[in-house]
Amino acid sequence: MSNEHNRTNPDLFKRSKHRHSTVPSLSPLKRTEFYWFEVAECGRRLLLASVIGVVAEDSAAAPTMGLLICFGFLWVFTKLEPFKDDGDSMLGVVLAYSLALLFLAALLLKVNAHTAATCTLPRGA
């Protein structure tokens, strides 16, 4: 049987486990109406990885952009809940918060926040 016959065979689609949708799910964990979410997730990963390489090494822009991207996708996770299981959606939210805390720690290190907090006031003040 040729590949062309497999693509046009209507019985092949009837035997498929995705009978309710014309677009098969890329991940069985996600709801079928959120098939586009896999592409958005790859875009998020690419953005986070490329932000680090684009800005200057001593700049605070990379952690700031990382925070903005994390909070943007945190909104997506909480509003859309793209996973079938509520536990998976909650795990995505928790991981987004942990990544945001990681970028916040990086931002605090970049602006050298610990030395500003230990400053002493002049004696005459």
Q: Convert the pLDDT of each residue in 6-28 to its tens digit.
A: 455 555 545 545 445 555 544 55
Burial of 7 (0-12, 13-18, 19+ CB in 10 A): exposed
Residue 30 DSSP one-character state: B
Q: For 78-90, how does the pLDDT look when each residue is reduced to its tens digit (9 = 90+)?
A: 888 887 788 888 8
pLDDT score at 114: 57
Give yes or no for a contact between 85 and 93, defined as CB atoms under 8 angstroms apart.
no
| Domain edges within the chain | 32-112
- Taking residue 66's Cβ as centre, other Cβ atoms within 10 Å add up to 21
pLDDT score at 7: 53
CA distances from 8 to 4, 23, 26, 115 (A): 7, 15, 21, 68
Arithmetic mean of pLDDT, 33-55 = 85
Length of the chain: 125
Is this prediction's pTM over 0.85? no
pLDDT score at 119: 57
Tell me what the pLDDT averaged over the chain comes to: 75
